[in-house]
């Protein structure tokens, strides 16, 4: 019993950290083993130093933890302020925001940026206070651009609006130099002719708000909140074909001035005779993308689709999207998609164009190195909302518009599929501002078409349907790249897999 009691006392003492040894008289004395005195903080120190070392150790750990927490809170506060400033309606805070930064792109990609359908646009409240820049923006790379007006080989019997651009000519058009000559529509006898009275009128238009209605799908919607300064400064030009002009005359009041010009409210109707394409959606790409060709004297233009009612003064738009950030081209980010392959998949599901031709279009782009969008890319997205385009007509901006149109002319009329590809081929030389989709939705009211558009080509499921009697479904004056044999081998091309990220997409 005695030995059991001694062992119990010894175990309790050992748990307290002491090194005790028993002598013959069963007395216990502390050991002088210096290794155990002071523990971690100092061998050979007196036992009285041990509590102070423990206090210092715990204090240091707490200091590190508190400093780390404060640093993380500071980072979160800065990131939160960054996101908030980008969505603020204050001009001061919106200037601080950089939506093209890698930090903002990372936050947006991971869902930390709140998604909004509409949001306040940080515009200057009074258009009278906006200072218009003097002169024009000068490009550093492309300084002069001219246009191919006739097919050079002369072997083509029927002139086409976009010309018969060869694959070799297409490739050359992406090689930048100070002076360039490219295809850009408006080939001789290719259609899209303007009345002489309209040609004379647009010569005096330096600031342009342009829109278009083709095949009688809409009537002009009058812009709202337009200042007197903008009414005097801007030409509001509505481009129409013969079918749409007749439809507008039947449904709204069209007045004529003493020079023969046609007006619907604030809009001056510009008639394009001899529609260049047999597909109405392609005809709409002429004034939309080639605004600088239709109105060559214009320095600034704002394009809006015909079914839209503009809600913001155009001077406020130019100041917000061009002048404030020293941009020459601005377009909205697509609401759902960032990759052209996602957008192509959505177009096929919604039957926006023949599915096998969309696949062929995308295979050519993938074969030529166009990767799916990722946060590593310079732009926030490869897919725009093209219903509003804001431009200063510089040489580089005009070149981009020409190359973009050439892709639409060669392939499918779905211009959102070609925008990111042209950006990719220019290798960063073309700089543009892609603004948030919620601001895009705050610029206008969207009105429904008067009727739904449909064409036979949209329902084609395989290339074989175009053969034999089905050849009548081919577009005869557009999509030339889809009918001209591609010089590369596409047999092994497999398009990237697409995950549907939105029910509406």
One pLDDT digit (tens) per residue for the chain, 505 residues: 445 544 444 444 444 444 444 444 444 444 444 444 444 444 455 566 777 788 888 888 888 899 999 998 988 887 777 766 665 544 455 545 665 566 666 666 666 666 678 899 999 999 999 999 999 999 999 999 999 999 876 666 788 999 999 999 999 999 999 999 999 999 999 999 999 999 999 999 999 999 999 999 899 999 999 999 999 999 999 999 999 999 999 999 999 999 999 999 999 999 999 999 988 889 999 999 999 999 999 999 999 999 999 999 999 999 999 999 999 999 999 999 999 999 999 999 988 899 999 999 999 999 999 999 999 998 999 999 999 999 999 999 999 999 999 999 999 999 999 999 999 999 999 999 999 999 999 999 999 887 777 677 887 888 888 877 777 788 889 999 998 899 999 999 999 999 877 665 6
Contact 117, 96 (CB under 8 A): no
Residues 205 and 61 in one domain: no
Residues 220 and 308 in one domain: yes
Range of the domain at 102: 50-129
Q: Which residues pair with 264 in a beta bridge?
A: 267
Q: Are 382 and 373 in contact (CB under 8 A)?
A: yes
Examine the domain organization and report whether 106 and 172 are in the same domain: no
Euclidean distance between CA atoms 373 and 170, whole angstroms: 23
CA–CA distance, 188 with 206 (Å, rounded to integer):
26
21 φ, ψ to 5°? -130, 145
Residues 228 and 332 in one domain: yes
Q: Where does a domain end: 129, 162, 190?
A: 129
H or E, element range at 434:
strand 433-435
pLDDT at 373: 96
The verdict on 377 and 456 lying in the same domain is yes
Please give the Cα distance from 138 to 394 (Å, whole number): 7
257/393 same-domain check = yes
Q: What is the 3-state secondary structure (H, E, C) of 134-201?
A: CCCCCCCCCCEEEEECCCCCCCCCCCCCCCCCCHHHHHHCCCCCCEEEEECCCCCCCCCEECHHHHHH
Whether 181 is covered by a domain: the verdict is yes
User: Do 154 and 226 lie in a common domain?
Assistant: yes
Q: Does residue 16 sit in the same domain as residue 58? A: no
In whole angstroms, give the CA distance from residue 380 to residue 335.
Answer: 12
Residue 66 is assigned to a structural domain of this protein: yes
Residue 487 lies in a domain: no
What count of residues does the chain have? Answer: 505
Same domain, yes or no: 54 and 174: no
Among 99, 129, 159, identify where a domain stops.
129
Residue ranges of alpha helices (H) inside 297-350 are: 314-318, 340-349
DSSP lists the bridge partners of residue 193 as: 273
Q: How far apart are CA 9 and CA 188, in angstroms?
A: 111
Phi-psi region of 162 (alpha: psi -120 to 50; beta: other; left: phi over 0): alpha
Could you say which of 129, 154, 182 is where a domain stops?
129
275 part of a folded domain: yes
- Who contacts 370 (Cβ-Cβ below 8 Å, separation ≥6)? 340, 420, 421, 424
Is 502 a member of any domain?
no
Q: How far apart are CA 45 and CA 41, in angstroms?
A: 9
Whether 124 and 265 share a structural domain: no
Residue 235 forms part of a structural domain: yes
Number of C-alpha atoms within 13 angstroms, CB side, residue 122?
Answer: 19
Nearest to residue 237, comparing CAs of 294, 171, 179, 159? Answer: 294
Residue 134 within any structural domain of the chain: no
Same domain, 237 and 331: yes
In a shared domain, residues 28 and 105:
no
d(CA 121, CA 306): 22
Write the CB contacts of 418 (distance below 8 Å, at least 6 apart in sequence): 404, 407, 408, 411
Dihedral Cα 99, 104, 108, 111, nearest 10 deg: -140
- Cα–Cα dist 271/248, whole Å: 12
Per the CB < 8 A criterion, the answer to whether 131 and 99 are in contact is no
Nearest to 408 by CA among 490, 484, 325, 481: 481
Q: Is 497 domain-assigned?
A: no
Number of domain units in the chain: 3
- For residue 459, the tally of other CB atoms under 10 A from its CB is 12
């Amino acid at each position: 019993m005695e030995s059991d009691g001694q062992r119990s006392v010894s175990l309790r003492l050992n748990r307290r950290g002491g090194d005790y040894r028993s002598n013959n008289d069963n007395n216990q004395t502390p050991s002088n083993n210096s290794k155990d005195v002071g523990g971690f903080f100092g061998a050979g120190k007196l036992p009285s130093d041990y509590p102070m070392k423990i206090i210092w150790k715990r204090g240091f750990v707490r200091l590190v933890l508190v400093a780390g927490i404060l640093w993380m809170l500071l980072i979160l506060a800065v990131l939160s302020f960054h996101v908030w400033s980008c969505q603020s309606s204050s001009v001061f805070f919106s200037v601080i925001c950089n939506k093209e930064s890698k930090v903002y792109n990372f936050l947006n990609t991971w869902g930390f940026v709140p998604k909004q359908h509409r949001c306040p646009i940080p515009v200057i409240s009074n258009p009278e206070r906006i200072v218009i820049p003097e002169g024009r923006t000068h490009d550093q790379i492309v300084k002069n651009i001219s246009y191919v007006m006739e097919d050079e080989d002369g072997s083509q019997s029927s002139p086409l609006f976009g010309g018969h651009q060869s694959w070799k000519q297409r490739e050359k058009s992406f090689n930048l130099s100070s002076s360039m000559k490219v295809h850009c529509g408006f080939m001789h006898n290719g259609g899209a002719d303007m009345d002489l009275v309209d040609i004379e009128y647009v010569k005096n238009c330096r600031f342009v708000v342009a829109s278009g209605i083709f095949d009688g799908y809409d009537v002009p919607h009058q812009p709202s909140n337009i200042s007197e300064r903008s009414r005097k400064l801007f030409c509001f030009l509505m481009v129409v074909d013969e079918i749409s002009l007749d439809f507008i005359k039947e449904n709204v009041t069209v007045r004529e001035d003493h020079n023969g010009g046609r007006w619907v409210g604030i809009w001056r109707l510009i008639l394009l005779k001899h529609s260049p394409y047999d597909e109405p959606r392609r005809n709409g790409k002429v004034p939309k993308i080639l605004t600088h060709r239709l109105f060559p004297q214009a320095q600034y233009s704002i394009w809006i689709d015909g079914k839209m009612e503009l809600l913001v003064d155009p001077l406020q738009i130019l100041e917000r999207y061009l002048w404030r950030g020293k941009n020459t081209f601005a377009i909205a980010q697509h609401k759902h998609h960032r990759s052209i392959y996602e957008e192509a998949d959505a177009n096929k599901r919604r039957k926006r164009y023949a599915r096998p031709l969309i696949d062929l279009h995308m295979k050519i782009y993938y074969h030529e190195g166009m990767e799916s969008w990722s946060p590593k890319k310079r732009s926030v997205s490869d897919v725009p909302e093209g219903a509003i385009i804001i431009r200063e007509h510089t040489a580089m901006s005009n070149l981009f518009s020409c190359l973009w149109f050439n892709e639409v002319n060669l392939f499918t009329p779905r211009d959102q599929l070609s925008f990111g590809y042209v950006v990719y081929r220019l290798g960063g030389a073309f700089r543009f501002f892609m603004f948030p989709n919620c601001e895009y939705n705050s610029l206008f009211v969207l009105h429904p078409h008067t009727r739904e558009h449909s064409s036979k080509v949209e329902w084609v499921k395989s290339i074989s349907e175009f053969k034999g009697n089905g050849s009548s479904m081919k577009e005869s004056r557009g999509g030339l790249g889809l009918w001209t044999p591609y010089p590369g081998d596409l047999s092994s091309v497999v398009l990237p897999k697409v995950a549907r990220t939105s029910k509406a997409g």
